[in-house]
């Protein structure tokens, strides 16, 4: 195992130390637990948005705490949920009197602990709502979309809900924005090599040399197709076809596109992919209004990428264009 780490069990805390030292103007810890981070400039009187989940996915989740995005985050160990107490402490720290939206990925451990945090928040008189990212079309068919995993497409929900909260929308409205964006987002990923977990030194899944897996999850969850590595254009078509079908995209529709690197894929390759995404969109008469290319939700050093599409209307596009500022994402 080749990793730039010290003691494996210190990996997450030392990573958080580095983030706090690098961005003291944007992030802070409200108490003694460094696994709870909040905006350094969190306003009062506006809806707070708390996200959270396991480490290993940077910039998800910690990277999206900032103006026009999330207000706080609870940080777990690698691929592990934060505790209920950490989720609650994040909510308490960002509550400015307008309530708190819990916005995170649809994974069992996260759901369990955030639900417990809701109970703790109620005892403190903090009003909460929950929106679950569930954009991974490979994890469940459309008729069971409420059970889908949350992957890179949750970025769109962070962006939209964060913009709504920043402009002063109430809790119900901010939650509705998040749900609307989640409902119109779909993602499919491809894995080319596994993640090596720092604490065990073992691969998260087994993939023979020269093969790819379409539909793989960000923790190495099984995909829907495994076979020989194909060309970039063929891969894009495999990823894009189910997204177009799931969102029922037709000529004249407008979309936002996220081509996301999983941790070990060069940016150049992501732009090769985007080139064909753009070509395929033009072929079916769909206009790309916003595009994002880079690492937005990783899986440590997994090689591979994911493609997320958000079906747009005027409101969703306006929210995506709103200003945002965090350690890992800035839009002016």
How many CB atoms are located within 10 Å of the residue 265 CB?
22
Question: Could you write out the three-class secondary structure of 147-206?
Answer: HCCCCCCHHHHHHHHHHHHHCCCCHHHHHHHHHHHHHCEEEEEEEEECCECCCCCCECCC
SS3 123: helix
Question: In the chain, which residue ranges form alpha helices assigned H by DSSP?
Answer: 11-22, 84-94, 108-123, 154-166, 171-183, 232-247, 267-283, 314-321
Beta-ladder partners of 276: none
Given 23, 57, 184, 276, the catalytic residue: 57
> Residue 322 half-sphere exposure, CB side, CA atoms within 13 Å?
23
Over its C-alpha atoms, the chain yields an Rg (Å, rounded) of 19
Beta-ladder partners of 131: 103
Task: Give Cα 216 to chain centroid, integer Å.
Answer: 15
**Rounded Cα gap, residues 202 and 195, in angstroms:** 8
Q: Is 225 one of the annotated active-site residues of the chain?
A: no
**Rounded Cα gap, residues 281 and 270, in angstroms:** 16
> Residue 259 half-sphere exposure, CB side, CA atoms within 13 Å?
22
CB of 169 within 8 A of CB of 47? yes
Given 23, 184, 219, 276, the catalytic residue: 219
Q: Is 219 one of the annotated active-site residues of the chain?
A: yes
Cis-peptide into 295, omega within 30 deg: no
CA 234 vs CA 190, 229, 279: distances in Å: 12, 9, 13
DSSP state, 83? P
CA 111 vs CA 53, 58, 80: distances in Å: 10, 20, 12
Catalytic residues: 57, 219
């Amino acid at each position: 195992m080749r990793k730039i780490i010290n003691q494996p069990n210190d990996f997450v805390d030392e990573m958080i130390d580095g983030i706090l030292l690098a961005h003291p103007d944007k992030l802070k810890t409200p108490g003694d637990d460094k696994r709870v981070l909040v905006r350094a400039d969190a306003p009062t009187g506006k809806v707070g948005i708390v996200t959270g989940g396991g480490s290993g996915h940077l910039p998800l989740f910690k990277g999206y705490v900032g103006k026009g995005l999330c207000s706080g985050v609870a940080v777990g160990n690698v691929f592990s949920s934060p505790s209920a107490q950490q989720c609650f402490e994040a909510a308490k720290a960002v509550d400015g009197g307008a309530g708190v939206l819990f916005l995170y990925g649809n994974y069992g451990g996260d759901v369990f602990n955030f639900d417990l945090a809701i109970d703790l928040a109620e005892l403190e008189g903090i009003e909460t709502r929950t929106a679950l990212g569930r954009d991974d079309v490979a994890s469940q068919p459309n008729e069971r979309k409420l059970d889908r995993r949350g992957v890179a497409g949750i970025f769109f929900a962070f962006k939209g809900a964060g913009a709504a909260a920043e402009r002063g929308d109430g809790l119900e409205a901010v939650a509705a924005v998040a749900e609307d964006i989640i409902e119109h987002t779909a993602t499919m990923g491809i894995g080319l090599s596994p993640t090596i977990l720092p604490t065990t030194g073992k691969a998260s899944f087994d993939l023979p040399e020269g093969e790819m897996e379409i539909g793989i999850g960000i923790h190495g969850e099984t995909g829907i197709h495994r076979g020989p590595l194909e060309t970039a254009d063929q891969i894009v078509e495999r990823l894009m076809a189910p997204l177009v079908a799931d969102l029922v995209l037709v000529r004249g529709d407008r979309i936002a596109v996220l081509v996301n690197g999983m941790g070990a894929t060069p940016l150049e390759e992501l732009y090769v992919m985007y080139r064909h995404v753009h070509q395929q969109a033009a072929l079916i008469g769909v206009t790309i209004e916003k595009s994002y290319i880079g690492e937005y939700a990783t899986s440590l050093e997994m090689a591979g990428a994911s493609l997320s599409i958000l079906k747009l209307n005027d409101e969703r596009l306006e929210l995506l264009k709103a200003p945002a500022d965090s350690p890992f994402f800035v839009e002016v």
